[in-house]
Amino acid sequence: MGAAARGAAAELAQTPTAAKAAGLRHAAAAIRANAETILAANALDMTAAAALSSALRDRLLLTPARVEAMAAGLEAIAGLRDPVGQRIDSWTTPNGLRFERVRVPLGVVGIIYESRPNVTADAGALCLMAGNACILRGGSEAARSNAAVHAALVAGIVAAGLPAAAVQLVASPDRALVGAMLVAHGLIDVIIPRGGKGLVARVQADARVPVLAHLDGINHVYVDAAADPVKARALVLDAKLRRTGVCGAAETLLIDRAYADPAPILTALLDAGCEVRVDAALLRLDPRLRAATAADWDTEYLDSVISVALVDGVGGATAHIARHGSHHTDAVVTEDATVAARFLAEVDSAIVLHNASTQFADGGEFGFGGEIGIATGRLHARGPVALEGLTTYKYLVHGSGQVRG
């Protein structure tokens, strides 16, 4: 599969935008035409998954609306600006050499994911549009759904004259194949895990191929003394509770010791059904508050739970985040531009926000037309990874016979 992917990648790297977009539009049509087959396959997966949690079953479930959303998603990706061939820089040196730095595809992308069958379509489409071949390995619980979605995708791609090996699916449930992908140096250029912390941790620990991923999203909202109380309350509620299971959800609220009145924020969280674990000094504000323990500052709840610490100004906030953060997404709420600038400069996270909710940590919200994941590593792409993050570059040097001499 690696060798086939490598061959497809070489072909896709030279494929014009219109042909890639046509492949995705054909794939969308094939998904719509095969909706019943896909839903029937999903029904079998759902029956076999009866023992799983309702959250997992919801992720696995396909409905006619979700299948249509998958097809529409492919069409949306087909309409995105193609990064391949973009000129990033160009300059001429005194000897007359003209340099260009242009984007080229990464090559072969391995995606290892769980549950959601829509990843098969989304991830495959983003890789293809950026000129990459991909090898997909979904969870065994979604095997039938993924196979049906993949079959439609490939039918569309082939109908547009693109290589079938552009998007390959590992059909066997053998877990050793995941291990093989992680060490497929020379065949797979980068691995992107999509799923729970257990999956990401295993991939990060075992991969010898570069990985783009995030392990934790221990995201902070810092409410400064100079925060607008109305904005602060609204931002904290949204950052924590809009969706608690997403990686951009806030997990810790840091409140400036000089902030006038923390009570309305805490009360609003409690009233919304959130468990609130606070510093001892805050406990007296509401009998429903619980005492935080040391472990709370390092916990990603992904649930209706938040930890709340008092800190000494923006310096206290950035120190707390440096110690406990996960370099994902952190926000400051303040009307003081100097405080905001300091927070944005000092917090070493992929995404730092001023007076905006951490739940904007999403490629779609960034205007990228989707994302294949969010990366918190330091090399290559950081934050939401979309088409551009799925490319690399090369240097073109145009001469007229120059020797170095």
Question: Footprint of its own copies on this chain (CB under 8 A)?
Answer: 10, 13-14, 91, 93, 97, 99, 104, 106-107, 189-190, 210, 228, 230-231, 234-235, 237-239, 242, 322, 344-346, 348-357, 359-360, 365-367, 377-380, 382-383, 392-405
Of 108 and 289, nearer to its own copies (C-beta) is 108
Q: Pick from 239, 257, 403, 265: which is nearest to 329 by CA? A: 239
Measured in degrees and rounded to the nearest 5, phi and psi for residue 206 equal -100, -15
339-346 own/partner pairs: CB under 8 Å, 24+ apart: 339/224, 339/226, 339/313, 339/314, 342/314, 342/318, 343/222, 343/314, 343/317, 343/318, 346/318
Of 35 and 184, nearer to its own copies (C-beta) is 184
Question: For residues 112 and 161, what is the distance between their CA atoms, to the nearest angstrom?
Answer: 27
Place of tokens 């494929």: 15
The radius of gyration of the chain from alpha carbons, rounded to an integer in Å, stands at 24
Tell the smallest beta-carbon distance from residue 192 to its own copies (Å): 12
Tell the smallest beta-carbon distance from residue 223 to its own copies (Å): 13
Q: How many CB atoms lie within 10 A of CB 90?
A: 12
Of 14 and 63, nearer to its own copies (C-beta) is 14
Tell the smallest beta-carbon distance from residue 208 to its own copies (Å): 8
Tell the smallest beta-carbon distance from residue 228 to its own copies (Å): 7
Of 36 and 271, nearer to its own copies (C-beta) is 271
Helix axes 64-78, 118-129, angle to 10 degrees: 10
Tell the smallest beta-carbon distance from residue 269 to its own copies (Å): 14
Tell the smallest beta-carbon distance from residue 39 to its own copies (Å): 30
Of 121 and 381, nearer to its own copies (C-beta) is 381
Of 171 and 345, nearer to its own copies (C-beta) is 345
Question: For residues 375 and 264, what is the distance between their CA atoms, to the nearest angstrom?
Answer: 34
The bridge status of strand 305-311 relative to strand 383-385 is unpaired
